[in-house]
Amino acid sequence: MFTTKTNLMNPSLPDDQCPQFTTGTTEALDRAEAACRARGASLTAIRREVLELLYRSPTGVKAYDLLARIKEARPGASPPTVYRALDFLIEQCLVHKIERMNLFVACRQASHQIPSLFLVCPKCSGVTELQEQSVMSALSTSLAEAGHRLESPEVEISALCPKCVGAASAQCADGEGGALG
Amino acid sequence: MFTTKTNLMNPSLPDDQCPQFTTGTTEALDRAEAACRARGASLTAIRREVLELLYRSPTGVKAYDLLARIKEARPGASPPTVYRALDFLIEQCLVHKIERMNLFVACRQASHQIPSLFLVCPKCSGVTELQEQSVMSALSTSLAEAGHRLESPEVEISALCPKCVGAASAQCADGEGGALG
DNA sequence: ATCAGAAATGCAATGTTATAACATTGCATG
DNA sequence: CATGCAATGTTATAACATTGCATTTCTGAT
């Protein structure tokens, strides 16, 4: 079971000490910079700062929260400043966007052999990136039968994280439903 | 294979003739009204009009597009008019929201025995609602292992529909990836 | 060194999606 | 008639994202 699970959910550790970091943030940033360079792209100061904020966050972060933080150092920063940096980082596969919540999260996978499953906690914005062969192959089969083709290698699932399980309510899962059919 | 597949992707048919409708829209609306009534809720004129627009649309619809249509008959309509109707319809399980695209779509399932898979086409906004035991059980297993709990009975997958397959480009699915790990 | 072109950034405005806050209407019931 | 309550109307604003254009910075060629 190829389950490279990274727990991004522990907000209480000091910088550079989160257990999912095999080395410090600075080293990770340097590696990211090298990777960009190798692809003919450049991890400029702004981009690096945005990526650093994401590396240091245990949860997904909203664009305007990033903007607020970037503004501390660069008062002139505006929405495009951040969105452009994010676009670049996403292109470089250094960051993922969680579409359903408009959240951005640094990629902590060493590689993407398999499309990733993103478990997004609707309570705390925690994001867990999984690579699950079993789910993906079942999904591929169903998609193929339906004549569809997976568009992005990222599948988002709204699921309460272990910490937040406890208050959820799930209506609409019962036997009634649409008026059609 | 419990695959209640409904094809919502055929925009070219006249009202009340889409093949996935076993009966006409009016009858479906009447049935929806009865279902609401049975639950002590009421499908008022505004709500019914919004639902009707969704029944007649083969694709997901944006809230402000609904608003524009509603305004034709009710010039005073404003965003809350539509959002309140949508909230109600979602509560009544008559409508689903596709979170990742801010799209609303009428529910065409007779019942929700199993959480639904929504295949959302990023090109044309077409939505196909599937109920796939195999995918869901694989998913449940993985979620349980990760200590998570599925939050909503709706799982959205971005997948090109049969008509739109052809132009897609999928970078980021290769062997590189994050700078961490 | 310096110049041209490309890439990145600054900046203002605007577009899009969604909700807050408060007032009003209309109807059922006692 | 008064009261209560659900629904709706109305205005404003919050939250998220993009466009367009001017300016600066970087890079490579001469």
* Percent of chain A clearing pLDDT 90 (strictly above): 70
Tell whether B4 is covered by a domain.
no
Q: Are A175 and B111 in contact (CB under 8 A)?
A: yes
Q: Name the average pLDDT for chain B.
A: 83
User: Taking CB atoms and an 8 Å cutoff, what residues of chain A touch B115?
Assistant: 173
Distance B27 CA to C27 C1' (A): 27
Tell whether B12 is covered by a domain.
no
At residue B62 the predicted structure's pLDDT band, cuts being 50, 70 and 90, is: very high
Tell whether A8 is covered by a domain.
no
3-class SS string, chain A: CCCCCECCCCCCCCCCCCCCCCCCHHHHHHHHHHHHHHCCCCCCHHHHHHHHHHHHCCECEEHHHHHHHHHHHCCCCCHHHHHHHHHHHHHCCCEEEEHHHCEEEECCCCCCCCCEEEEECCCCCEEEEECCHHHHHHHHHHHHHCCCEECCCEEEEEEECCCCCCCCCCCCCCCCCCCCC
Per-residue pLDDT tens digits for A117-128: 999 999 999 999
Note the pLDDT of residue B23.
61
Enclosing domain of residue B139: 18-166
* Mean local confidence (pLDDT), B95-122: 92
Tell me which H or E stretch contains B171: none
Tell whether B174 is covered by a domain.
no
Note the pLDDT of residue A115.
87
Per-residue pLDDT tens digits for B12-41: 333 433 435 446 899 999 999 999 999 999
Within A 30-69, residues with CB less than 7 Å from strand C = 41-42, 44-47
Tell whether B7 is covered by a domain.
no
Residues within a 7 A CB radius of strand D: A 42, 62-64, 78-80, 83, 102; B 41-42, 44-47, 74, 76-81, 84-85, 88
Distance to chain A for B68, nearest Cα, Å: 24
At residue B80 the predicted structure's pLDDT band, cuts being 50, 70 and 90, is: very high
* Mean local confidence (pLDDT), A150-169: 82
The total of structural domains in chain A comes to 1
* Mean local confidence (pLDDT), B88-100: 96
The domain spanning residue A56 has which CATH number?
Answer: 1.10.10.10
Q: Say how many C-beta atoms besides its own lie within 10 A of residue A144's C-beta.
A: 11
Tell whether A175 is covered by a domain.
no
**Annotated binding-site positions of A for Zn(2+):** 121, 124, 161, 164
Whole-prediction pTM: 0.84
Residues within 8 A of A (CB atoms), B 30-89 only: 31-32, 34-35, 55
Chain D, protein-covered positions (CB within 7 A): 6-13, 15-20, 26-27
Tell whether A13 is covered by a domain.
no
* Mean local confidence (pLDDT), A92-106: 97
Among B17, B132, B151, B156, most A C-beta atoms within 10 A, so best to mutate, is B151
* Percent of chain B clearing pLDDT 90 (strictly above): 69
Within B 72-111, residues with CB less than 7 Å from strand C = 78-80, 83, 87, 102
Residues within 8 A of A (CB atoms), B 99-128 only: 99-101, 106-113, 115, 117, 119, 121-122, 128
Tell whether B176 is covered by a domain.
no
* Mean local confidence (pLDDT), B47-64: 97
Distance B178 CA to C7 C1' (A): 24
